[in-house]
Every structure is written in structure tokens, then in C-alpha cells.
């Protein structure tokens, strides 16, 4: 195994651990404070409601709310 391969394996395993940890936090979070944030998913990015403490996406804005958000930012 070369050095890059080892590094990649280590990173992938860390990534897996981090994702599980995030899932645990988000599953236990009550999402009490919502904020509107620009969320990138895949190739596009759009404003969404996300939980302020855990960052979990909670919903899309209505077209009207989107316009208001984009005007403010």
C-alpha cells in the first residue's frame, strides 16, 4: 500500500466516524433555533432553514421568503 492510499483510508475512516457523530448529534437535537442559511447540496446552493445548533437542514423557504432572504444578503 502506498502512502497516499494509507492517507486516503485514514481520511475515509475519519470521515465515517465524523458523519456518525454528526448524525448522533442531529438525532438528539431538538432543533429549537432555526436560522436561514445558504446550503450547498451537490451542484446548487439555496437558502434553507437549518438548525442553529446542529446545522441540520429543516426545510425549504417559500419562493417569497427566498426573495426576501436574497434581497437582504
Footprint on this chain of Zn ion (rule: CB under 5 A) = 29, 31, 51, 54, 56
Which CB, 34 or 68, lies closer to Zn ion?
34
CB nearer to Zn ion: give 28 or 44. Answer: 28
The nearer residue to Zn ion, 47 or 51, going by C-beta atoms, is 51
C-alpha cell recorded at residue 4 = 497516499
Q: Output the smallest distance, CB 55 to Zn ion, in A.
A: 7
Residues 44-68 as b or e (16 or more Cβ within 10 Å = b)? eeebbbbbeebebeeeebeeeeeee
Amino acid at each position: 500500500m502506498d502512502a497516499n492510499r494509507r492517507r486516503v483510508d485514514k481520511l475515509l475512516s475519519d470521515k465515517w466516524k465524523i458523519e456518525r457523530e454528526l448524525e448522533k448529534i442531529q438525532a438528539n437535537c431538538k432543533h429549537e433555533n432555526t436560522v436561514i442559511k445558504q446550503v450547498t447540496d451537490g451542484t446548487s446552493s439555496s437558502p434553507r432553514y437549518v438548525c442553529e445548533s446542529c446545522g441540520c437542514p429543516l426545510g425549504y423557504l417559500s419562493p417569497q421568503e427566498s426573495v426576501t432572504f436574497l434581497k437582504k444578503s
